[in-house]
Chains A and B, each alone.
Chain A
Amino acid sequence: MMVPGRRGGAILLAIMLAGAGISRAAADPLPRVASATLCGDQYVLALADPDQIAALSPQATAPWLSLLADKAAAYPRPRPAAETYLHAGVDVLVTNAWTDHTTAALLERFSVETVRIPLLNDIDAIAAMTRDVARALGHPERGEALVKRLLARVAAVRADAPGQNRVALYLRPGGGTAAEGAFVATLMDIAGLRNQATEAGLSGWTSWNLERFIADPPALLVTSFFESPHASLGRAFGNHPAFTRRAAGIDTIAVPGATWVCGGWILADALDAMAAGLADLNARDDRP
């Protein structure tokens, strides 16, 4: 029985889908890559050569979700499915660790390497993941450069500690927040902020209560995804007049959601956005 090899699978499929134009230069040393998820899109766009990229996720061009949305517009964004990637002659697929299990299993039978990105909340784990993805895409040196950039930003912001121990609360429009253990809380800590959710005894990705917000408003709000263009029943917290009226009187740093849509190298940009917002607040407070 013939077990399809890494390239054999693609060739077999090319025969089956005759005329579909899926040839791939056998001499090409760099793998053809695809991403089935937003987080993977950011890695692939940052690390791979343009002619390596076979497919990105359908949301790759959503500017409020995807940091490299502009760059993504040049590439196909098919609906994620194993046959799509086999048809495109993909050698490496980057996807989430918690979804697409059957897609990944099927692709592995065709010797397509799947790189699965878990929900990472720790800077060291993110650095290791960045190196892993870069190696799989054939560009370890680019991965190293991304890691260096991230670690340098972390070190610089930690040293500067622009948060000045303000009590801050992270909020998404649905009332979701982040306490110790979630990467948003990790970045708030690096920036020198006290996290109200952590101090309230919460941990990880959790939610805040509207009554609690009214009773004990934070000194600073760190918000994300409020710019989302979609109406949602889940946004009742963020749309509630009791929240919007009070939030208008609280210092707020709106960190673009696209910079921390997942725990990846993009967090360097989230940290920059947070540090810049805090620097502005500090400058305002220092003014006589």
Chain B
Amino acid sequence: MNSKILNELCSHCAFILNDAEKERMVADLKLILEYVDQVHSVSTDGIEPLVHPINIGYLRMLDEPETSGHENLTQSESIEKTDDFYVVPKVIEP
């Protein structure tokens, strides 16, 4: 963990840190990694990853439209809308 990796992580997370925060965060993350790195010390050969803790009912939905769920979409004042469109600063297409 170093400041270069941290910068990449920040860009993936879409937030920024000031220099003091960065310094602190690098130290914290180092500590965390030191702790969790112990997982690599255990052999897990032949073991399937467990993603879902429980076997459940394999729910699927019927292909029938439902009209509720559109109403009451109250926005805070900081969210900008025009003519039912959400508005954001111009996205420059590459």
Q: Do A and B come from one complex?
A: no
